[in-house]
Structure 1
Amino acid sequence: MPMSRLRTDDELKRLRERWTDPAFATARDSLLEQAETALAADLRPVGEAGGWGHAFHCPDHVVPLEFDPSGPPQHRCPVDGKLWQGEDFDGGWRCALNGRIMGGIQACATVVAAVGPEAGDRRLAYPREILLDYAERYPNLPPSGRWAGKGKITGQGLEEAVWAIGACRVYDAIRDQLSDADRTMIETGLLRGLAAHLTDQLFGKIHNIECWQLSALAHLGVILDDDDLIALAVDGETGLTAQFAEGILDDGWWAEGSPTYHYYMLSGALAAAAALRERRPAFLETRGLRDMLLTPLSMIRSDFSLPATNDGWNSIAFPYGLAQYAGHYEQGYGLWPDPRFAEVLAACYAQGTPRTGEAALALGPDLTDVAAPAAWPLKTVHPTSGYAILADDHRYLLLKYGPHGGGHGHPDKLQLDLWADGVRLAPDAGSPAYTSPLQGPWIRQTLSHNTVLLDQTSQPEAEGTLINFRDPAEHPYGLAEASVTWPEDPDAVAGRQGSWLREPRRTHVPAYAGAELRRSVLWTADYFVDLVRVEAPQEVPIDLAWHHRGVLLGRDDLEPVDWRPPDETYAILSEVHRLAPQDQEWQLSWEVEGVTTRLWAHDPEGTEVITATTPGNPPAEPQSTVLRRAHGRAARFGAVIETSRGPGRIDAVEWEDRGETLIVSVRLPDRTDSWTLPASGVAT
């Protein structure tokens, strides 16, 4: 009976043909180098269970610690050389060890799959020995971990699933060259053990972790020729089919509200699709799966980046941040040969990203005659996820108003993320490593975002609504206007994402009970107007935060503040000053990477304007923070914001407060614009 395989015959044929093709030499040589590095290091498993991978980071600088294969009792930070010790770090080191071993044996196994016996004895022997070693150890390793399930090789069910997929692919590549005894040992000791453990870790919710665990079970089901495992992975009550049906929103984004987690979940989903393409070919047509590769392209900035919303690594927001996901499009092209995937790859590789990985050799397109498009069509409103975008050829502003995003969501309704001329100016910081000491008091708090908080307390979970939108490409000026109203009784509101929110965080915060926040952005080719209106159920401090990278340009009227923070979040602010007492109007400027931002503001009477320094992302990069603090049951904050390289075009900004209406006039060399900003209703 033929063995059930993860790699198809066509895939193996393409891998072997391209192995000697000069056009794919970079991918081949990279795999050969990884294999040789692994053989030289000859890393071996240790007897103890692994820990949580995120724990192997420096808490101060939020970077991975230096990996010493000898497993020292102390672990060095690569930034300042500080040594860290303790079981969390040691467990993280063991997880890193097992990850490095897996990366090495995967490279060796791919070489074996590409060239067969010509790969050499050691390239086959090393992965064989490692799989047998793990097969002997796995049944006796205790489950370990305290974050979202347990692992044995690792310290978490998620990390165990990722590791298991690698083990399946290694076994698939070398199985033909193993003895019957070796195959029996690996299948019974390791693969069956992984299947049993990961089945126990399923928690029955719509979640990226569940997708990875189900993907691993699908791989194990295929490699072990086990239809029951495949059925559990695909058809279970919260199996992969249900995950996609509920977790992929109608606008194509994964429900966690984070481009990073969109791609992370997609990593496991694509792996499952590839594993199942012969056993369950209809799985490739599952609703939303293929289009998950296209959705991010509809929100992409001109430098091939995306905002790092919610729990998202900020690398996606750097120039060509999407290039780190080239492997997804190589794999996607092999599953669905869409020419748009080839264009994405052409864009990735044109700017210098090397074309590497097995997927490029075995699944990706021939890019000889493929060119990246000059621009990607922008979808300005993503209604289910709650993204509204105002953009032109050099600026991009995101207004975020949608669902919270489950456990990876941030309390940041109606926040702005500003980018211009290839530079992150006032960005959503995303998230550093989860072991960062800033996670609780700062990253996951409203104050670290460009939005409003009441009574010096973070926003409870909520979902906003887009009220008005005008695309500036189709109208004389652009408009994005959204609002959010918090219920008086949070327990009376049911989330619309079903099992995604079965762990509700219904926080009762009196300051927000019935409160309403409305934000309107008017967009022109030269600047934009930002109007924020707040109504609270009682008199409270109303803080509007603005965080900008780079340097706050000189003001000689900043006064030191006797800063007495009410909690650990406000204690993060350092170098706290305030603008000297003034009328309701003021102006500040910042400069970063050659781009200047100028902000002209109008605040409610009695507003205190506080400046401070706060951590950015990475935390070692400080940012400038402005806090506009009013008091009362209502507030209206206005601002005109201009960005430019070199001198700006605005000559003057004049405000006229008519009580219920605020008039702002913006004088430019060739015209004067006048805007009406009402206390309620639509700004014009």
Structure 2
Amino acid sequence: MSMAIGEKRNMSAWVDKVLLRMKDELDRMIEADSLTIPEEPGGWWHQYVCPVHHAELLFDPLEPDAHTFVCPHGCRIDEEIYRGAWLVFKHQSLARAALQSAAVYAGLREPSYAELAKRLLVAYARQFPRYPVHPDAQPWMLKGKAFHQALTEAIWSTTLLRAYLLLQDEGVSFTADERSALDLFVSMLESSMTEYRHILIHERKNPENNYTAWLNASLSCVYAVQGNREALLGLIEGEGGWKHHLSIGVKPDQLEFEGSGYYHIFVLRAYLIAAEMAERFGVDLYSEQGSEGQSMVGMFDVLAALADDTGVLPALHDGPMQRVPYAREIAEIMEIGLARYRKSEWIPLLSEAYRQMGSETGERNELEALLYGEDSHAVSSSTIREGEKRGSCLLPASGFVVGRHAGNTLSFLADFGPHGGSHGHYDKLHVSVMHKSGAWTPDFGMVPYGSTLRKQWYAETASHNTVSVDGTSQAEHTGRCVAFAESAAATSVWLQSDAAYPGCLLDRRLLLTENWLLDVFEVRLDRTASVEWWMHPVSEPVHAPPYSAGAAPEAYSLQIDKTQRELPIVGRYAASGESGMAQPLSFAYSLQDGSKLYHTALLLPEQEALSVRTPGTTVDPSAPLTALLHRQMGERCRFVHVYSAKGPVQVAMHGDNELRVTCGSETTACKLNEEHGLTIG
């Protein structure tokens, strides 16, 4: 069992500091009179996004009520659909306040906070029967009562029921009237979650859905409150049960089946809640394995392997690059994981989560620390240390590969695997170039689903660092890893895809040494077409080749869902030297730690390189970025790029299958071959 908050106060210096911070937050909410339960149910939180700037709207937990909603850029919106989305945040905030109040009482033993937690719990218990099955839910949703989605309801219910259990653990009593209301609430949750679960598993035949994990988690909390051990054991076993979902919802390489870091954490958090409830009955799920070796410890390990050196997780497929509620989820699972499995290599992910929640040094500062954290490891200022060796990572079932090499501060992450279903992107053979200070060409992830940019940009091929053909996105498909190798000299990977477009083979080879990263992308078609190689750095170059003089302004036409989107072309890079020969285009970029990254693109005959204005990252789409578009009309196209953080770097072709990379005074010959892909010598 996890350590009680009162016990932690005697063993960990940080606990009192966090307790007082949590108490102060609650006091400010009380003073603002913002702890009244709305009589209206919530809507769908994904609609809480500015239609102009595509940024998530602001939510202030101190605001008692709201009918006008503000975006970070000052837009004020008052449409009813945004009211429903705001109510989701409000209901979730109040559930969190109940859990927070229970935690503050457990730590400080001040009765007013136990009373506050009780008041919120009982108010929801009495209000819940009055909510109808939501009439405004979209047809594809499993409909909830307190929210559009049963999924949101399941998540919200676990927060409330954990608060209820914490109060019981701390000896807080309820009146007969209060207990009657709570019993009805819990009984109604049991009935609705059981019904939703039956629909999903048996009628829709979709037991692997991430919904299932949360319906299981909610019911686990229900059975813990009821003391119903037999029902909880039944929930662990059988079709769609905890063990079965671990076997079908997680790939053998330990990543959630949709290939999304966000939904991986989403499902792992639900598993951990169910395990917490099972432990109350003496059942240990923390060491359980799925049918192909899947486990919760493996799910933590794969997150640590995918994270960059600062502890930031890549936004694979759907999911935000960064938002506070997501950081809270990461903090929760990492606190639980560290307390249970005690693996210090996970600490940078926890430290980064606290940084995103406002802690400058990455030290513990939130409710998640109070509830789940233990002092087995120091958290403050934890990052991957200089010189600490991190190996590469190949996830063959999920289709991701991270390339790292000793001595090089650059690394890469490539995507070649399954599409990812409704949460997947059209992004096969995408590559993110990363530096020890952070990702330089990241995967942007996804804006809230209510934004039109979800389908008009962020899910589409052109928003990724890969290749599109004729301005259209790739088909939903799966690529393959032809070869992956690590040696003392280099780390290399060879990826292919032959189903992105009819009659088209995409072939990408990457070679990482201690000094540079070489990227060779070949496209072979059974027809002549426009082939577009995209790269999306998050910063403007501090040095770049000049644009061609007198080039008329134009736009790049992108075809998405039979509609046309125009991206402004800022300029066309001018090649220097003899016409008809390969020309290097050299760039330099400033990185987050003040160092530089050097990049050279080899402009082959009949190719052009353009600077294109695009939407920004999913954190702020309205702050535009400048992409590099390297393109060619042809049947066979080759795009050659090289990167280094150690100084200017050049690449030259020698014949059809040899490239020579020069960094400083050293020149290295590299070969394209049909056995190993791209090799040195």
- The TM tier, using the shorter chain, reads 0.7 to 0.9
Gaps of 5+ in 1: 1-7, 487-510
Quickly say closer, same or farther: Cα 1:417–1:264, change in 2 above 3 A.
same
CA contact (8 A) 1:516 1:534 kept: yes
> Which of the residues 159, 180, 186 maps onto 1:184?
180
CA contact (8 A) 1:58 1:65 kept: no
1:541 aligns with 2:548: no
Shift of 1:662: 4.1
> Which of the residues 637, 662, 683 maps onto 2:678?
683
Quickly say closer, same or farther: Cα 1:345–1:683, change in 2 above 3 A.
closer
The residue number in structure 2 matching 1:125 is 115
CA contact (8 A) 2:125 2:182 kept: yes
CA contact (8 A) 1:578 1:608 kept: yes
Question: Aligned partner of 2:48: which letter?
Answer: F
The residue number in structure 1 matching 2:583 is 585
The residue number in structure 2 matching 1:508 is none
The residue number in structure 2 matching 1:489 is none
CA contact (8 A) 2:546 2:573 kept: no
Deviation digits for residues 451-470 of structure 1 (CA, Å, limit 9, x no counterpart): 11223221122222222222
Quickly say closer, same or farther: Cα 1:219–1:476, change in 2 above 3 A.
same
Q: Secondary structure at the match of 2:271?
A: helix
> Which of the residues 140, 146, 149 maps onto 2:142?
149
Stretch deviating more after TM superposition (163-172 or 228-237): 228-237
The residue number in structure 2 matching 1:674 is 669
The residue number in structure 2 matching 1:459 is 474
Q: Secondary structure at the match of 1:237?
A: coil
Quickly say closer, same or farther: Cα 1:360–1:609, change in 2 above 3 A.
closer
The residue number in structure 1 matching 2:490 is 477
1:225-624 correspondence to structure 2 within 5 Å: 225-227=227-229, 229-231=231-233, 233-279=235-281, 281-287=283-289, 288-315=295-322, 325-336=330-341, 352-357=361-366, 360-361=369-370, 363-367=372-376, 374=385, 375=388, 377-392=390-405, 393-471=408-486, 474-486=487-499, 512-552=501-541, 553-558=543-548, 559-563=551-555, 565-567=557-559, 571-580=565-574, 583=580, 584-593=582-591, 594-602=594-602, 605-617=605-617, 618-624=620-626
Stretch deviating more after TM superposition (365-374 or 271-280): 365-374
Query: In 2, Cα distance between the equivalents of 1:231 and 1:551?
Result: 56
Shift of 1:612: 0.7
> Which of the residues 183, 206, 211 maps onto 2:213?
211
Quickly say closer, same or farther: Cα 1:403–1:17, change in 2 above 3 A.
same
CA contact (8 A) 2:491 2:512 kept: yes
Query: In 1, Cα distance between the equivalents of 2:85 and 2:114?
Result: 28
Shift of 1:560: 3.2
Query: In 2, Cα distance between the equivalents of 1:324 and 1:595?
Result: 32
Query: In 1, Cα distance between the equivalents of 2:488 and 2:344?
Result: 32
Query: In 2, Cα distance between the equivalents of 1:84 and 1:589?
Result: 42
1:5-24 correspondence to structure 2 within 5 Å: 11=3, 14-19=4-9, 22-24=13-15
Shift of 1:554: 4.3
TM-score, scaled to structure 2: 0.85
CA contact (8 A) 1:38 1:105 kept: no
Deviation digits for residues 211-245 of structure 1 (CA, Å, limit 9, x no counterpart): 12211111112212345652563224122211111
TM-score, scaled to structure 1: 0.84
Quickly say closer, same or farther: Cα 1:429–1:333, change in 2 above 3 A.
closer
The residue number in structure 1 matching 2:292 is none
Q: Secondary structure at the match of 1:426?
A: coil
The residue number in structure 2 matching 1:5 is none
Q: Secondary structure at the match of 1:548?
A: coil
Quickly say closer, same or farther: Cα 1:173–1:282, change in 2 above 3 A.
closer
Shift of 1:277: 0.9
1:27 aligns with 2:18: yes
Shift of 1:450: 0.7
Question: Aligned partner of 1:172: which letter?
Answer: L
Quickly say closer, same or farther: Cα 1:638–1:80, change in 2 above 3 A.
closer
Shift of 1:535: 2.2
CA contact (8 A) 2:103 2:371 kept: no
Quickly say closer, same or farther: Cα 1:347–1:94, change in 2 above 3 A.
closer
Deviation digits for residues 190-224 of structure 1 (CA, Å, limit 9, x no counterpart): 22222222233332221223212211111112212
Query: In 2, Cα distance between the equivalents of 1:681 and 1:370?
Result: 42
Quote the RMSD (CA, aligned, Å).
3.1
Shift of 1:139: 1.8
> What is the percentage of aligned positions where both structures have the same residue?
23
Query: In 2, Cα distance between the equivalents of 1:65 and 1:322?
Result: 16
Query: In 2, Cα distance between the equivalents of 1:275 and 1:574?
Result: 54
CA contact (8 A) 2:602 2:639 kept: yes
The residue number in structure 2 matching 1:62 is 55
CA contact (8 A) 1:579 1:609 kept: yes
Shift of 1:69: 3.1
Quickly say closer, same or farther: Cα 1:294–1:91, change in 2 above 3 A.
same
Shift of 1:163: 0.7
Stretch deviating more after TM superposition (211-220 or 21-30): 21-30
Query: In 2, Cα distance between the equivalents of 1:178 and 1:323?
Result: 30
